[in-house]
Structure 1
Amino acid sequence: MKLAILSLFFLFNFNPCQKEYGTIELVISETSNDEGVIQLLIFNQEKGWPESLDDAWKIVTLQLKNGTAKQTIPNVPAGNYAITVFHDHDEDGKIRKNKIGYPIDPFGFSNNPSLLFGVPSFEKCNQKVTASKTTRFEIDLR
């Protein structure tokens, strides 16, 4: 009898397909003004990093208030995430670039890596989101 009860307990409480979820807390600062919006691409894989809209896990648009944009994203599957962000002054969804391809709009990456050698890798920008915890991403725009 005890074995049958134990078997039923494991059957109903163990689901190998069950995903564990955490929360992402976003804080974007160092904006020059509150005009426009902040555009973010959140990636859970290296593929498409840092610009592919099709490969991003989530696309987020944030409003600015007092030079800062904040948002909490619940129900994020546990894993590694990296974020690219820019201040979209004209709200067209596209980052403005100069003739040689360098961004004119203020931009940034999670973990605020050095940009001396070009676009930072997904590996340098990712943070681990763990189940039942909040992972804070603080990004300063440049």
Structure 2
Amino acid sequence: MRIPTLNHILPALAIFVSGAAFAGDLKIDVSVPADRQGLVMAAVFDKADGFPRGTPLRTATAKPVQGKATLQFTDLPKGDYAVTAFLDENSNTRLDANLFGIPTELYGFSRNARNMAGPPPFAEAAFRMEDNAQQQAFELK
């Protein structure tokens, strides 16, 4: 009988350990007024640095159906996350704003976080991923 060597055990151990680091899938349901048309563009962030205008961990898009867009992020590691989304009504892939910097398209954040003067801080929009699957819902205003 042949005894497994370290070279045989390490790859199997790496797969096991890396699989344990993932919390699973995140499903986001975004409510959109039924009279508004466009593509919902969402971004998930895993740290406060750069939220919400920096480089996100992942992005997704979905077309609203009957006032709701569902977005899926798979294989996310355990940790704290915040999601931002907006309705791209003119298909230019960016959140449009007026001359004063106030958004002219609908937008929102996870946990329905809001701030009177600009976007909310990461901590107000953040939630913890620990389970195999998680669902969050918020609305665009």
Could you say which TM-score interval applies, normalised by the shorter chain? 0.7 to 0.9
Q: Hey, what does 2:138 align to over in structure 1?
A: 139
Residue in structure 1 matching 2:27, options 13, 25, 36? 25
Residue 16 of structure 1 deviates from its aligned partner by 5.2
Q: What SS does the corresponding residue of 1:50 show, helix, strand or coil?
A: coil
> Offset of 1:71 from its aligned partner?
2.8
SS in 1 for 2:50: coil
Whichever residue aligns with residue 27 of structure 2, its letter is: E
Match of 1:44 among 21, 43, 46: 46
1:107 aligns with 2:107: yes
Separation in 2, partners of 1:32, 1:51: 27
CA apart distance, 1:25? 0.9
Percent of aligned positions with the same letter in both sequences?
22
Q: Is the 1:41–1:57 Cα contact (8 Å) retained in structure 2? A: yes
- After superposition, the CA RMSD in angstroms is 2.3
State how far apart, in whole Å, the 2-side matches of 1:16 and 1:60 are. 27
For the residues of structure 2 that align with 1:101 and 1:13, how far apart are their CA atoms? 51
Aligned partners of 2:76, 2:17: CA distance in 1, in Å?
18
1:118 corresponds in structure 2 to 118
Q: 1:120 to 1:131 in 2, by over 3 A?
A: same
Q: Is residue 63 from structure 1 mapped to residue 63 from structure 2 by the alignment?
A: yes
Per-residue deviation, 1:88: 0.2
Gaps of 5+ in 1: 1-9
SS state of the match for residue 111, structure 2? Answer: coil
C-alpha distance in structure 2 between counterparts of 1:33 and 1:76, whole Å: 33
Alpha-carbon distance between aligned partners in 2 of 1:13 and 1:113, rounded to the nearest angstrom: 40
Q: Is the 8 A contact 2:96 2:103 kept in 1?
A: yes
Report the 3-state secondary structure (helix = DSSP H, G, I; strand = E; otherwise coil) of the residue aligned with 1:123: helix
TM-score by length of 2: 0.81
Match of 1:6 in 2: none
Q: How many residues align structurally?
A: 132
Give yes or no for contact 1:128–1:135 (8 Å, CA) kept in 2.
no
